Chain A
C-alpha cells in the first residue's frame, strides 16, 4: 500500500487522487447517513454532523498550530529552551531586521494605495464606455496569473544586459532607456529602488481587483444623485471628487485593507525575483528563510506572530467600516 503515499507513475497519481476523493465522499456520506434520522435524535447531534467536520479541521489545522507557534516564539532556535521575549527583541533591534520591517512597511503602504488609485481612475474612465468589458478584462487578467508567473513576466521586463557595443537589450524597460539615450540599469539590484520595482509587480496584479470592486460600487451609485449633481453643474473632475469618491467610500476601504493584507502575507514575488537579496527582504519571506533554511524555529515563530499581529488591526478597521456602512443602509 506504499504507493498510496508515494505514487511513482502518472497513473498511480491519478488513482491516488481518485482514492482520496472516494474516501472523502464515503466519510461524509457516512456522517450524513448517521445523522439523518428525523425526530429520533436531538438536534445538537445533527448539528455536530453538519458543522463538526469543518470545526474539527479548523481547530486542528489553524487554531492549534497557531497557539503552538505563539508558544514557540518564546523559545530558542530548536524550541528546547525558554528565552522569553528574546526573539522579539532581536527582530525589532537588529539592524538587519529593522530594515526588513521598513521594507515591509513600504510594501504595505505603497501597493494598496497605488493599485487602488489606478484601479479607481480606470474604473471611472471605462464606466459605460464602449469597450468596457474588454477594457476591464485586460486589466483583470493578472489576477488569474500566479505571483510566480507575474514575477517571471516582470523579471523579463527588467532584464539587464551590459552596456557594450554589439549587445542589445532584451528587457523592454532597459530598451526604453536606451532609446531615450540613457544607460541601462540593473533594476533589481540597486537599493532602495529595487523594492519599488518589486512593488510594481504587486500593483500590476492587484489593480484589477481594485478596479472590479470599485466599478461595481460606482455602478451602484443611484442615478438620481448623479443627475442632481449634473443639474448643479458638476462635470468630470468635480463629479469624481464630490460625488463618486464619497459614494464609494466603504468599497474603497475594503479594497485598501484587502490589498494591504494580501501584500503583507505574500512572499512569492520577493522570493522569485531577488530571493530577498539586495535589501529587498520582507517579513513573509524572512519567515520562510528562518523556518526552513536557517532552521531557527523560535525566530520564525516570532516573525509569524508579528505577521499575525500586523494583520489584526487592518481587519478590525475593515470590519468596523463594514458595520458602519451597513448601519447607514
Chain B
C-alpha cells in the first residue's frame, strides 16, 4: 500500500500525550492508562489512521480531479499529480467548473439557484409548524392529546415512497405539479413527524415552573411561546434546522418526483449527468463538488449543533 507513510510520525505522539488532558486523573488511573497505552496504542493508532485515510481518499481523489485539465483526466489517474506538485509541473485549472456551471447542457449555476430556492422555505416552514405543534402537545391540555401525539410519532415510520403517487395526482389536479410550491409542501410534510417529536422532547425538558410563572402573570399561550420558550429553544431549533437543511439539499427522491425539469435541484441534475455523460469525469467531478460545497461548509461550521440534533433524534427515537 502506498497510502500509509504518515503512520510512523503520528504514532509516538498519540502514545505519549493522548489521554491525560481532559479531566483530573488519579495516579492509579494514569498508570493504568499508561499500561494500556503501551500495550495497544501502536496498533490502535495504526488502525485508526488507516481507516481515516481510507475514508478520506475517495473525496480527495474527486476534489483533485475536478481541478485537472480534461485531457489529463482522461490520460492518467489523479494520484499522478503528486510528484508534479513538488516540481511545479502539475497543471490545475478552473475550466471544469466553468463548463459545469455555465456550459450548455449542464448549466449548474441555474440549478444551484433552484436548490437554494427549494431549501430555504423547506427548512423554515416545517420548523415553524412543528414548533407550534410541539408547544401544543407539551403545554396545552386538550382531549385526545396523548393519542394524537403517539399517532404523529408513529407516522415517522411511513416511507415517503408510499405517499408519492397520490400526492402527485393531487398536485396535478390543482395545477401546481412541478412548481416550487409542490416541492416545498412535500418537503414540509415529510419533515413534520420527526420535527414535532424532536422539538417536543426538547420542550418537555424546560422546567414547568417557568411556564407556570408566566401563566400566573397573565400571559397567554402565544406570549409564553414567544417570550419564555422560544429563546430557550434556539439550540434545538438550530440542531433540527441544520438537519433539515442537509436533508433537503441532499434529497433526490422528492426533487425527482415533484420538481419540473426547469426547477430541478442539484442532486437531480448531477444524477442526470452521471447517466448521460458517465465518462466525462471532468464535468462529473466538478458538478459533484458544486453540489457538495454548501452542505460541507454548513456542516463543518455547525458540526456541534448537527451532532446534538442527531444524537437527540437517534437516541430518543
Contact = CB atoms under 8 A, between A and B. Distances in A.
Interface of A: 5-7, 10, 13-14, 16-17, 20-21, 24, 28, 32, 35-38, 43-44, 46-47, 49-51, 53-55, 57-58, 60-66, 68-70, 72, 118, 121-122, 125-126, 128-131, 135, 137-149, 151-157, 159, 168-172, 175, 179, 204, 207, 209, 212-213, 216, 227, 230-231, 235-236, 239, 251, 254-255, 258, 264-265, 267-268, 271-273, 275, 284, 287-288, 291-292, 297, 300-301, 303-305, 307-308, 311-312, 315, 322
Contact of A131 (B14, B74, B117): B14
A25 to B, nearest CB: 8
B199 to A, nearest CB: 10
A180 to B, nearest CB: 10
B130 A54 contact: yes
A50 B164 CA distance: 27
B247 to A, nearest CB: 10
A306 to B, nearest CB: 10
B9 to A, nearest CB: 12
A29 to B, nearest CB: 10
Q: Which 9 A-B pairs have the closest CB atoms?
A: A61-B189, A50-B136, A146-B250, A54-B133, A144-B299, A65-B166, A47-B142, A51-B136, A65-B163
Contacts of A272: 252, 271, 274-275
B157 A308 contact: yes
A131 B287 CA distance: 32
Given A50-B133, A304-B159, A35 B221 contact: yes
Contacts of B281: 156, 159, 170
A209 B192 CA distance: 22
A255 B132 CA distance: 29
Interface string B263-286: 000010011001100100100110
Contacts of A17: 117, 120-121, 180
B310 A128 contact: no
B51 A24 contact: no
A271 B152 contact: no
Contact of A58 (B155, B170, B253, B267): B155
A221 to B, nearest CB: 14
Nearest to A118: B51
B83 interface: no
A58 B152 contact: yes
Contacts of B104: none
A148 B267 contact: yes
- Chain B's interface size range is 35 or more
Contacts of B57: 172
A10 B166 CA distance: 31
A146 B249 contact: yes
Contact of B311 (A128, A171, A179, A213): A213
Given A20-B180, A149-B267, A156-B285, 20 more contacts: A14-B113, A36-B220, A55-B152, A57-B189, A61-B189, A64-B166, A65-B162, A69-B166, A129-B18, A131-B10, A137-B300, A143-B299, A146-B250, A148-B252, A148-B271, A153-B59, A156-B281, A254-B314, A268-B253, A307-B162
B283 to A, nearest CB: 10
18 contacts: A28-B129, A38-B221, A43-B140, A47-B140, A50-B221, A65-B163, A125-B48, A129-B18, A137-B303, A141-B55, A142-B59, A144-B300, A152-B285, A179-B2, A212-B310, A235-B39, A265-B161, A315-B156
Given A5-B181, A13-B114, A142-B55, A65 B157 contact: no
B245 to A, nearest CB: 10
B275 A129 contact: no
A144 B296 contact: yes
A28 B91 CA distance: 55
B135 to A, nearest CB: 6
B230 interface: no
B220 A156 contact: no
Interface core residue of B21, B78, B180, B184 (most chain A CB under 10 Å): B180
Contacts of A146: 249-252, 267, 291-292, 295
Interface string B108-139: 00100110010011001100111011011100
Interface string B290-317: 0110011011100100010011001111
B110 A10 contact: yes
A297 B57 CA distance: 42
A268 B252 contact: yes
B65 to A, nearest CB: 7
Interface in B213-265: 218-223, 246, 249-253, 256-257
B121 A254 contact: no
Given A138-B52, A291-B165, A62 B14 contact: no
A168 B75 contact: yes
Contact of B18 (A128, A175, A209, A273): A128
Contacts of A66: 158, 162-163
Given A46-B140, A125-B48, A141-B299, A149 B291 contact: yes
Contacts of B152: 54-55, 58
Nearest to A213: B314
Contacts of A61: 163, 167, 185-186, 189-190
B64 to A, nearest CB: 11
Interface core residue of A137, A143, A312 (most chain B CB under 10 Å): A143
B98 interface: no
A216 B56 CA distance: 22
Contact of B165 (A50, A137, A143, A301): A301
A57 B315 contact: no
Contacts of A151: 271, 274
Contact of A305 (B56, B121, B162, B316): B162
B196 interface: yes
Contacts of B167: 61, 65
B17 interface: yes
